[in-house]
Structure 1
Amino acid sequence: MTESTDAIILKDVVKSFRKRTIRGEYTTFKSELLRWLRGKRQARDASLITALRGINLTIPKGKTVGVIGRNGSGKSTLLKLITGIYTPTSGSLEINGRISALLDLGAGFHPDFSGRENILINGIILGMTRAEVRARMADIIAFSELGEFIDEPVRTYSSGMYMRLAFAVATHVDPDILIIDEILAVGDEHFSKKSLAKMMDFKHQGKTIVLVTHDLGTVERWCDVAAWIDGGYIRRVGKPSEIAAEYREAISLAEAQSAAFTPPALSEGGGALPQVPTVALPTEGPVRVHGVSLLDAHGAPVDVVSPEQGLEVRAAFAVDGACEDVDFEVRLQSADGRTLYETSTRREAVALARMPSQGVLRFVVERLGVLGGDFVVTVTARAGKGISSARCAFRVVSTSEDEGVFRPPHRWLVEASAGAEVGVAFAPGASPRVEVG
Structure 2
Amino acid sequence: MPESMDAIILKDVVKSFRKRTIRGEYTTFKSELLRWLRGQRQARDATLITALRGINLTIPKGKTVGIIGRNGSGKSTLLKLITGIYTPTSGDLQINGRISALLDLGAGFHPDFSGRENILINGIILGMTRAEVRARMDEIIAFSELGEFIDEPVRTYSSGMYMRLAFAVATHVDPDILIIDEILAVGDEHFSKKSLAKMMDFKRQGKTIVLVTHDLSTVERWCDLAAWIDGGYVRRVGKPSEVTAEYREAISLAEAQSVAFTPPALTEGGGALPQVPADVLSSEGPVRIRGVQLTDAQGEALEVVSPEQALEFRADFSVEGACDDVDFEVRLQAADGRTLYETSTRREAVVLTRMPTHGILRFLVERLGALGGDYSLVVSARSGKGDSSARCAFRVVSASEDEGVFRPPHRWLVEAGPEAQQGLPFAPGATPRVEVG
Q: What is the TM-score when the length of structure 2 is the normalising length? A: 0.87
Residue number in structure 2 paired with 1:35: 31
Structure-2 change in CA distance of 1:299 and 1:74 (3 Å): closer
Whether the 8 Å CA contact 2:263–2:270 is kept in 1: the answer is no
Residue number in structure 2 paired with 1:288: 289
Partner of 1:258, secondary structure, is coil
Partner of 1:348, secondary structure, is coil
Letter in 2 for 1:317: D
Deviation at 1:284, TM superposition (A): 6.8
Residue number in structure 1 paired with 2:310: 311
Residue number in structure 2 paired with 1:234: 234
Whether the 8 Å CA contact 1:333–1:340 is kept in 2: the answer is yes
Write out aligned runs for 1:33-432 (5 A).
Answer: 33-39=29-35, 42-271=42-271, 273-278=274-279, 280=281, 282-283=283-284, 285-295=286-296, 302-307=302-307, 309-320=308-319, 323-382=323-382, 384-397=385-398, 399-401=400-402, 403-410=403-410, 421=419, 432=434
Aligned mates of 2:186, 2:421 — CA distance in 1: 56
Whether the 8 Å CA contact 1:81–1:87 is kept in 2: the answer is yes
Deviation at 1:5, TM superposition (A): 2.2
Partner of 1:15, secondary structure, is strand
Letter in 2 for 1:315: R
Whether the 8 Å CA contact 1:287–1:382 is kept in 2: the answer is no
Aligned mates of 2:267, 2:44 — CA distance in 1: 21
Whether the 8 Å CA contact 1:370–1:396 is kept in 2: the answer is no
Whether the 8 Å CA contact 2:293–2:392 is kept in 1: the answer is yes
Q: For residues 152-203 of structure 1, give each alpha carbon's deviation from its aligned partner in whole angstroms, at most 9, with x where no partner exists.
A: 1111111111111111111111111111000000021121112112122222
Deviation at 1:70, TM superposition (A): 0.5
Letter in 2 for 1:51: A
Whether the 8 Å CA contact 1:10–1:57 is kept in 2: the answer is yes
Deviation at 1:396, TM superposition (A): 4.1
Partner of 1:355, secondary structure, is coil
Aligned mates of 1:237, 1:250 — CA distance in 2: 15
Partner of 1:259, secondary structure, is coil
Partner of 2:241, secondary structure, is helix
Aligned mates of 1:92, 1:424 — CA distance in 2: 87
Aligned mates of 2:320, 2:53 — CA distance in 1: 39
Q: For residues 278-312 of structure 1, give each alpha carbon's deviation from its aligned partner in whole angstroms, at most 9, with x where no partner exists.
A: 4655337444343311426x7765544454x1432
Partner of 2:17, secondary structure, is strand
Aligned mates of 2:24, 2:242 — CA distance in 1: 44
Partner of 1:46, secondary structure, is strand
Letter in 2 for 1:257: Q
Whether the 8 Å CA contact 1:235–1:276 is kept in 2: the answer is yes
Mean Cα displacement is larger for which, 31-40 or 202-211? 31-40
The unaligned stretches of length 5 or more in structure 1 are none
Residue number in structure 1 paired with 2:427: none
Partner of 1:432, secondary structure, is strand
Whether the 8 Å CA contact 1:314–1:360 is kept in 2: the answer is no
Whether the 8 Å CA contact 1:58–1:280 is kept in 2: the answer is no
Aligned mates of 1:144, 1:159 — CA distance in 2: 13
Structure-2 change in CA distance of 1:18 and 1:108 (3 Å): same
Deviation at 1:379, TM superposition (A): 2.3
Aligned mates of 2:244, 2:235 — CA distance in 1: 12
Residue number in structure 2 paired with 1:15: 15
Aligned mates of 2:203, 2:405 — CA distance in 1: 23
Aligned mates of 1:13, 1:425 — CA distance in 2: 87
Deviation at 1:57, TM superposition (A): 1.2
Name the Cα RMSD after superposition.
3.1
Deviation at 1:414, TM superposition (A): 8.2
The unaligned stretches of length 5 or more in structure 2 are 425-431
Whether the 8 Å CA contact 2:376–2:391 is kept in 1: the answer is no
Deviation at 1:52, TM superposition (A): 1.1
Aligned mates of 2:421, 2:34 — CA distance in 1: 105
Mean Cα displacement is larger for which, 133-142 or 232-241? 133-142
Letter in 1 for 2:394: A
Matched residues, number: 423
Aligned mates of 2:302, 2:63 — CA distance in 1: 27
